[in-house]
Structure 1
Amino acid sequence: MKSQGPSTRDRILTAANKLFYYEGIRATSVDAIAEKAGITKKTLYYHFPSKDNLVASYLDTRDQPNLEIFAQWFDACDGTVADKVAAIFTGVGEGARHPKWKGCGFQRTVAELANMPGHPAVQVGARHKKKFEEWLTVKFTEAGIQGPADIARHIVVLMEGTFAILLMHRDPDYADAAAVAARQIVQAEMVR
């Protein structure tokens, strides 16, 4: 029995993921996505009623994988919760060393849509960042850190700054510096 390949919807999302991430939202046309997916534009619009819907769906496909990689880096690190949080920043730095790394897809998309705060992709991006913050809050609560939600927010702000500076300077050493800062922020709360 012949195995089925990816569905048309999945092929569209795979094409959109590559083009949106590497070329940008505004620079990528629906025609280019349809061509890369090997379908007609009409078929694309059958599955995604608008480009805005497709952009939001693109970010949705990145949500869980990104959160899972942060959790993997955290869980793989031996040591205190401060060391584990630092490991997330180290992992981001290692990712930034790859020649195909183009920054945080959520941050880049929201930046392109900054004049459209109600855009569905902006909402997906905001939810993703909030999930990361909530996950950190749980980890800090489990570690007995006082004010876990505040510390999680500090780390999220540091992470967003790290993504921005890495994209600007293309120097992964900034992620290493952020790892040190993250460790210090969390350690300071552990000794209270």
Structure 2
Amino acid sequence: MKQSEIPTRERIVLAAAKLFYSEGIRAVSVDAVAEKAGVTKRTLYYHFESKDDLVAAYLAARDQPNLVLYQRWFAETEGNAADKVRGIFRNLERVARKPSWKGCSFLRTAAELANMPGHPAMKTGAAHKKRVEEWLRTEFETAGAASAAPQLARQVILLLDGSFAVALLHRDPAYMEAAGDAAHALVSAAVSGK
């Protein structure tokens, strides 16, 4: 699809996503987003009340695709729930080896906006992380670890987010493999101890 065939609002969000992910929220101006989207600044502000709204829309656009990707990796990995969880980490490790990988967009945005807890993007990021946690909880309940599922989902989220942070800090995706092994052990213990 040609850029001119993409609806204007979507084109602006796509341009913002490329720039925000590669350069950071604060480093990218509204002018740069408008230029990349091929629109005027006035058109951008017609679709988004502020840069804050644009940042929230950027993260909202990543919410479902990220969750669907985790769900696909989980489903495609053979084995039990512990194996499938480790499969998510292994796929993340593979993605993190790409030169264009710059970590989790939700966590990077939260770091940039840490002094603004009420920012719409902070709320969007928190909602995304909760959706992933709830999905994991449901999977763990299905696997037979109903009583442990809420705590287990929270622990796996901590391992996911921790591996994103440390792999980015050290530029070493092997941390994701180590986190995946830890998640596998936690899930195995919870499911076998039901």
TM, length-normalised to structure 2: 0.96
The residue aligned with 1:156 is: 157
SS in 1 for 2:115: coil
> Per-residue deviation at 1:172?
1.0
The residue aligned with 1:186 is: 187
The residue aligned with 1:21 is: 21
Residue identity matched to 1:121: A
The residue aligned with 1:166 is: 167
Q: Which whole-Å CA distance do the structure 2 matches of 1:176 and 1:8 have between them? A: 40
Q: Which whole-Å CA distance do the structure 2 matches of 1:108 and 1:147 have between them? A: 30
SS in 1 for 2:28: coil
Give deviations 1:64-106, integer Å, cap 9, x for gaps.
1100110011000110100000101111101100110010000
> Per-residue deviation at 1:114?
0.1
SS in 2 for 1:52: helix
Q: Which whole-Å CA distance do the structure 1 matches of 2:141 and 2:28 have between them? A: 42
The residue aligned with 2:178 is: 177
> Per-residue deviation at 1:147?
1.5
Q: How does 1:40-51 map to 2 (within 5 A)?
A: 40-51=40-51
Q: Which whole-Å CA distance do the structure 1 matches of 2:39 and 2:5 have between them? A: 14
Q: Where in structure 1 do 4 or more consecutive aligned residues deviate above 3 Å?
A: none
Answer yes or no: is 1:143 the counterpart of 2:143.
yes
Q: Which whole-Å CA distance do the structure 2 matches of 1:114 and 1:175 have between them? A: 24
Runs of 5+ in structure 1 lacking a partner?
none
CA RMSD of aligned residues (A): 1.1
Residue identity matched to 2:190: E
The residue aligned with 1:71 is: 71
Answer yes or no: is 1:116 the counterpart of 2:105.
no
Q: Which whole-Å CA distance do the structure 1 matches of 2:135 and 2:24 have between them? A: 28
Q: Which whole-Å CA distance do the structure 2 matches of 1:35 and 1:122 have between them? A: 26
Answer yes or no: is 1:31 the counterpart of 2:31.
yes
Runs of 5+ in structure 2 lacking a partner?
none
Q: Which whole-Å CA distance do the structure 2 matches of 1:158 and 1:176 have between them? A: 11
TM, length-normalised to structure 1: 0.97
Residue identity matched to 1:191: S
SS in 1 for 2:5: coil
Q: Which whole-Å CA distance do the structure 1 matches of 2:44 and 2:132 have between them? A: 31
The residue aligned with 2:125 is: 125
Q: Which whole-Å CA distance do the structure 2 matches of 1:116 and 1:19 have between them? A: 21
Q: Which whole-Å CA distance do the structure 1 matches of 2:33 and 2:159 have between them? A: 34
> Per-residue deviation at 1:154?
0.5
